[in-house]
Amino acid sequence: MRRSLVHNLILVALFLAFFSGAVAIQRRTLEGVRKNPPFIETWNLSGRSGDILKILALRYDMVTADFLWLRAIQSFGGRGMTNRDWRPIYNLFDTITELDPYFEDAYTFGNLVIGDEGGKQREGLALIDKGMKNMICQYRVPFEGMYVAHWQMSDTNLARWYGRVAANRLNAPDWVPRIAAYVEVQGGAYYVGLDRFIGNFLRGIDGKDTVMQTISLSKIKDTIDDWNKSLLQRALDEYTSSTGRLPARIGDLVSQPALQNYESASISHFIAAINRYLFASGRDTLDAGMLKGYVLPAPDEMTKPVPSPEAVKAAKSMTPFQNEIFRDTLEKRGGIPLSPAGSPYMLNLTSLGNPYASRKEAVTDTANAAEFLKNLLGDMREVIRKRKNELGRNPESLREVFCTDFKTTEPFGGKFTYDPKTGEFKSSSHPDM
Amino acid sequence: MHKITVIALNTFKEAVRNKVLYFLLIFALIIMGFSGVISDLSIAAPEKLIKDLGLASIDFFGFLIAVFVGIYLVYNEIDKRTIYTIVSKPIDRCQFILGKYFGLLFTIYVNIAIMSLFFFAVLYFRESTQPDMVNKALYHEITPGKWEAAGNPAIQYYLFHAKQFGLSAGKAFITIFGYTEPLTQGLMRVILMSALGLAVITSFAIFYSTFSTPTLSAVFTFLTFIIGSLCEDILRYTDKLAEKAGGVNMLTGADSLKYWFAWAAMHITPNLGLFDKRMDAIYGSEFVNPLDRYVTVDWVVVVYGLLYVGGVLCLASMIFNRRNFK
């Protein structure tokens, strides 16, 4: 009995000695882990890891991908705090998608981590391309590609390609073709963008969806506006390269080749064409409230007959006539176009030749220029007011506000005036603004 | 038939006394329960994680049960010399092998049913206890934007979870018998196909145990499982070898040996990938192939599986018939 007790006591003592030693070492290693930032190094997977792991995982490759996915999420959190080397994380996502080729989130999140966060958009797009090949019905992966190419890389041609793929995917919701059409317009493919938006508008009519009609009409207007502005910008470039100076007013561009017998679209032609087809099919024409703010067609344009009235009357849908309506919307003309909102185009002299302004801002229309001026005046007045509060009096000159000469040009060609007595800052072209 | 049933039931009774079975089952259930926790670590596709892990656990632990329980069934009869009392009775040795096989298969299927029940319950429970659903249960809107607690929130919280647990368990039970919701659509078919694959592997476990020791049987069964899982990769490997040489007839030396060895291995062992429909269930067949509709039972594969089982059991019976127990 006594011997057994001693025996047990020795065993307990040995257990305590061994176990406490092990726990002490464990505690030290854990403290060491705490000192380092988490997940400094991602597993060093290579470009072939996917192939090898696929074999090693036997048929459990999806579960293996899931564990790597969890690891990737943790690594992303850790890597955000350390360096931005994209290779290990790229290989990780590449391996995940080799193991589970339909793991949509791995492509999109991988692209976000590598491209959006890591600044390596081309490498992020390599993952997107792989996802597009593996998932032939899904819109989300090419849509992400379009987003990255357009909004991060400013590569509109690449974005247009991704957009077209996304819009044609089987599960693409209604809004995907709309955004793809927007990207087409941004990339200068006005015919394609216009055609897509007209298609959207007609589907809105067929579905009696007034919201879709309103949005599509607004997008058609924006497309025509961008189209006109691009022509004017081309004319502006031609003018500056041929004369070596900037134009003083929009009228100076009239004789440039870009504005001779060009093709563009007209919102009034579009409205007229739609109303003609609606009338021919026995439906109500467009609501006047929806057309507020657009250039309306002349009455005789509305009454022109459609090419095949019987076919239009028999058709249950408007979409079969998309091509005809599209063609009717186009027009050949020369000279300075009129904006679809009806306000004439002009040169924004504040932006023209300003190296800090984007090229597109040089051409605007009077309504937009007035809005621009209003905002500019508001900003200036706010800066002056703040300076006044600091000084306890009106600034004596604008130099006292901006610490330099005030050289900003007024968009309409007038002058900015500042009265130190009253502290008023005004524009000579719009004194009431 | 009666004799086979009696042996099968006895085999089942014997198998359920095996502690390894319970360890494997408990381990599988822990992993499935754990899948609900680790899915929260994922910023996307948490359901996919649970489904992946659950279906893989059912398949893999089913396989482990087949191996660790199956390899001892025949061996124990010989080792404990109980085989003498059986072969001395008017029982055909084929009937003995079939009885052992169906007994083991029944054990595996009961375990699969338990694992499936737990798996579906985890899925349903997780879906029904999402934060917005819990909030709806704990608070109700009196006027737009104004909320009031429905009783004591702590008590309501536990009551709600207990109720959902019960409901999830109930739904999980009927799911095994064919009830489906979008969440569990196609999963039972995947499990059934997986069960068919396990029937094939079990036949191999029984076959190996008729002529070798448990350790060797386990090794052989594992190898069969590995080769069976890699069947399609082996096919690509042989193709690559042939392509490199410029045709099968051009293969010489070691390459020729490798080619014919791999060719034989992939033709003899069952292609377990055919029974694996997990990807279809997780993503839906439309995702993978728009012309296909969700998980379908491939009857050719079913016939293939049954033919394999029949063939391997015949072979096992032949070997067992030739064994001398004198």
Q: From first to last of the 433 residues of chain A, give the pLDDT tens digit.
A: 567 888 889 989 998 999 899 889 888 887 776 676 555 455 566 767 788 888 888 889 999 999 999 888 877 665 544 455 677 788 889 999 999 999 999 999 999 888 877 788 898 999 999 999 998 888 999 999 999 999 989 999 999 999 999 999 988 888 898 899 999 998 889 999 999 999 999 999 999 999 999 999 999 999 999 999 999 999 999 999 999 999 988 999 999 999 999 999 999 999 999 999 998 988 888 888 889 889 899 888 888 888 888 888 888 889 899 999 999 999 999 999 989 988 889 998 888 888 888 888 889 998 889 999 999 999 999 999 999 999 888 888 888 888 887 778 888 888 888 888 888 898 988 888 8
pLDDT tens-place string over residues B68-100:
888 888 888 888 888 888 878 888 888 899 999
Amino acid symbol at B75: Y
Residues of B in contact with A63 (CB under 8 A): 52-53, 56
**Confidence at B290, pLDDT banded by 50, 70, 90:** very low
Helix B253-268 vs helix B231-245: angle between axes, to the nearest 10 degrees?
150
Number of CB atoms found within 10 A of residue A74's CB: 14
Task: Output the pLDDT for position A194.
Answer: 94
B41 to chain A, any CB pair closer than 8 A? The answer is yes
B38 to chain A, any CB pair closer than 8 A? The answer is yes
Number of CB atoms found within 10 A of residue A297's CB: 21
Q: What's the pTM value of the predicted model, to 2 decimals?
A: 0.78
Worst-scoring range by mean pLDDT, A1-5, B28-32, B244-248? A1-5
Min Cα separation A60/chain B (Å): 6
B37 to chain A, any CB pair closer than 8 A? The answer is no
Percent with pLDDT over 90 in chain B: 35
Task: Output the pLDDT for position A78.
Answer: 55
Min Cα separation B47/chain A (Å): 11
Min Cα separation B326/chain A (Å): 43
b (16+ CB within 10 A) / e for A193-214: bbbbbbbbbbbbbeeebeebbe
Q: What is the ipTM of this complex?
A: 0.86
pLDDT tens-place string over residues B212-222:
889 999 999 99
Task: Output the pLDDT for position B294.
Answer: 55
- Round to whole Å and give the CA distance between B269 and B263: 10
**Among B53, B233, B276, whose Cβ lies nearest the Cβ of A66?**
B53
Task: Output the pLDDT for position A236.
Answer: 94
Domain range annotation of chain A = 350-427
Alpha carbon separation from A46 to A91, A95, A259, A386 (Å, rounded):
6, 8, 56, 58
Is A383 in a helix, a strand, or coil? Answer: helix
Worst-scoring range by mean pLDDT, A103-117, A252-266, B147-161, B237-251? B147-161
Alpha-carbon torsion (A89, A90, A95, A100), positive or negative: positive
Phi, psi of B177 (to 5 degrees): -100, 20
Token readout for A76 is 């992303």
Residues of B in contact with A136 (CB under 8 A): 290
Q: Which of residues 54-83 of B touch A (CB under 8 A)?
A: 56, 59-60
Is B147 in a helix, a strand, or coil? Answer: strand
DSSP B284: -
- Round to whole Å and give the CA distance between A190 and A264: 9
Mean predicted confidence (pLDDT) in B258-287:
83
Write the DSSP assignment of B58-127 as a string of letters. Answer: HHHHHHHHHHHHHHHHHHHHHHTTTHHHHHTSS--HHHHHHHHHHHHHHHHHHHHHHHHHHHHHHHHHHH
**Confidence at B295, pLDDT banded by 50, 70, 90:** low
Task: Output the pLDDT for position A80.
Answer: 47
Is A60 in a helix, a strand, or coil? Answer: coil
A55 to chain B, any CB pair closer than 8 A? The answer is yes
Task: Output the pLDDT for position A258.
Answer: 93
B48 to chain A, any CB pair closer than 8 A? The answer is yes
Task: Output the pLDDT for position B291.
Answer: 45
Residues of B in contact with A135 (CB under 8 A): 287
Amino acid symbol at A69: W
Task: Output the pLDDT for position A42.
Answer: 52
Residues of A in contact with B41 (CB under 8 A): 70, 73-74
- Please give the residue of chain A at the shortest CA–CA distance from B53: A63
**How long a stretch of residues is chain B?**
326
Q: Is the pLDDT of residue B293 over 50?
A: no
Distance of CA A389 to the CA centre of its chain: 40
Phi, psi of A47 (to 5 degrees): -65, -20
Q: Which of residues 99-138 of A touch B (CB under 8 A)?
A: 102-105, 109, 135-138
Task: Output the pLDDT for position A358.
Answer: 82
Q: Inspect the interface and report whether the beta carbons of A103 and B45 lie closer than 8 Å.
A: yes
A56 to chain B, any CB pair closer than 8 A? The answer is no
Distance of CA B73 to the CA centre of its chain: 20
Residues of B in contact with A73 (CB under 8 A): 41-43
**Confidence at B255, pLDDT banded by 50, 70, 90:** confident
- Round to whole Å and give the CA distance between B198 and B208: 15
